[in-house]
Amino acid sequence: MIDENQLQELRKGMEIQFRYKFYKEAQFPFLQSLGIKHILQAFDAGDDIGFIGMLHLWWVSDPTGTVTGIWESEWFNTPQEGVALAQKIDQDLRKIYNIEKLEQTQMQYIHSMAEKEMMKQLQDKIRKEEEEESKTVLWN
């Protein structure tokens, strides 16, 4: 088990690495305009150290106006704290889409694709049966 100072140093290093990777991603400059203003990432070091924590980054406008905005951060000690925040964020967001309709549309698409696949298999089976039948019939 590590002490609190070591944990804070480990978290600091993990946050720096995560931010570096996060900032280099192609979608990074567009996240705020897409409505993504919260990022949650859990860090676990396995059996040796255990759960390091959950990093929460959230975007805020820069009050000084020198930059467009900044990503603030905080750490949670347990996964449950992070999950609770994610649920709260999800409930608080004004969504421009209806989740139920998205789910319904996705289910209809999956059903449609399954029907198409079944029809294709049925047509293939009928075609094969007709080919077999035509081989056995003697034409004069």
**pLDDT tier for residue 1 given thresholds of 50, 70 and 90:** low
Looking at this protein, which amino acid is placed at residue 55? L
What percentage of the chain has pLDDT greater than the value 90?
44
Confidence of residue 96 (pLDDT cuts 50, 70, 90): low
Cα-only R_g, the chain: 27
Low-confidence winner among 37-41, 59-63, 82-86, 91-95 (lowest mean pLDDT): 91-95
Task: pLDDT band for 12, please (50, 70, 90 cuts).
Answer: very high
pLDDT at residue 94 above 70? no
| Sheet with strand 51-61: strands edge to edge | 38-44, 51-61, 69-76
Domain ranges of the chain: 4-95, 97-140
Specify the pTM. 0.61
Beta-carbon contacts of residue 34 (< 8 Å; ≥ 6 apart): 27
